[in-house]
Amino acid sequence: MKKKSKKTTSTNHVADKKSGLSLISTLGLFGSHETQVSVHGEVDLHKHVKDCQKNPGHKKFIPVESFHLNSLPRCFRDSLLYQLIKVTCDLAVRVEVKWTSPRRVEFWPESQQPYPFYNSQTTSASRFGSGALINVIKRQNGIGSDIYGQIYDLETRRCPCQKCQESDNPSRIWWEFIIFTATHVVFDEYEAEHTVCRLFYDSNTSKGFILDQASMYRSSIGEDTCDLSFVFCDKQDLGIKMFQMMTTWSILWQKVEEKFHRSRLAFIVSHPHGCAKQVSFGQWVKSYEWESYNRDLDLTKLTYTTSTCPGSSGAAVYCVGFNEIVHSGMLNSKLNVSGIGFSYLKSRNFSLSRRIRT
């Protein structure tokens, strides 16, 4: 398979994590967070849509209900890409955080840039962001397998959900969903425990599925990425459905990546203002290489023109032919910035492993 040639004109290299964070600080690449704060929770969300100053009318957003092949930019009207985006829409989730951790840091690492919601634990407002399902693990008697073929072995042989912990007959078969979002949206274990994710919120009439009682699977303040774990045993059909959907997504992503490996197209599926999910398109502009992760992957930070709004924080930014990365914030009205992630593939053979940390 062909390897990507490194575009040195669009990539800034840094030698290590500390210097990487210093470069981010020097270049002002933290951005303004795009978490939607709502004092009255769900009640005021549509008011925030109406009062939006960043994207009045939201003309650059496409409701997933009305998304079709011709919604794609003219030179990207490809059936494989369309199928990929349709599946991606089903994997997007709305994230609602109901409490703020007292352990939030005052500044972003290696900077004097204020960190979002520091010292805000006394407020009762909900915060809304976006996220994406990135892995599904089926467990039976503690042994689990995910969509990438990785095997997990837990000491516990019984479902750890709250209902089973209180039961004399706990289930021995359960599912674990791993949801990817930004750390400034869900900061730590305390906030994870008070986070609710809503699947299939595609329209104002969608009921969807609610996931709660999360635990923090992985988190990095500097990278602004975190993974949440949700376990359940009472929705077996949902587990099977999402396992199949994630498998389909991985196959489609690999095909699209091969077909558009020179593309700069970047799309986002998010929940602007905490409302029903929307699709937006743009281009990635520049890649800032943070560190070399291993011989196959680098960790980088991206800027891009894809439209976002408050409520888009934590959404996955899908750079077709490049990789996907978390949306961190807004640099200005026309340019956004990501967290740090596996956004530069050195090897074409590594595509299906890009999300899994070791």
Distance CA 49, CA 233 (A): 36
Residue of higher predicted confidence among 305 and 257? 305
Determine the Cα angle at 69 with ends 63 and 73, to 5°.
Answer: 85
Res. 123 pLDDT band, cuts 50 70 90: confident
Q: Which of 48, 119, 93 is nearest to 270 (CA)?
A: 93
Res. 23 pLDDT band, cuts 50 70 90: low
Res 357: pLDDT: 46
Distance CA 314, CA 73 (A): 24
Res. 24 pLDDT band, cuts 50 70 90: low
Res. 352 pLDDT band, cuts 50 70 90: very low
Residue of higher predicted confidence among 85 and 301? 85
Q: What confidence tens digit (pLDDT) does each residue in 40-64 have?
A: 888 889 999 999 999 999 999 999 9
Res 27: pLDDT: 56
Q: Which 3 state secondary structure label does DSSP give 132?
A: strand
Q: Give the start-to-end residue ranges of the domains of the chain.
A: 8-93+256-353, 95-241
Residue pair 308/31 in contact (Cβ under 8 Å)? The answer is: no
Long-range contacts of 245-250 (CB under 8 A, 24+ apart): 245/87, 245/90, 245/91, 246/91, 246/133, 246/134, 246/135, 246/136, 246/147, 247/147, 248/87, 249/84, 249/87, 249/88, 249/91, 250/147, 250/148, 250/352
User: What integer is the mean pLDDT of 114-132?
Assistant: 90
Q: What confidence tens digit (pLDDT) does each residue in 127-147 have?
A: 999 999 999 999 999 899 999
Q: Is the pLDDT of residue 103 over 60?
A: yes
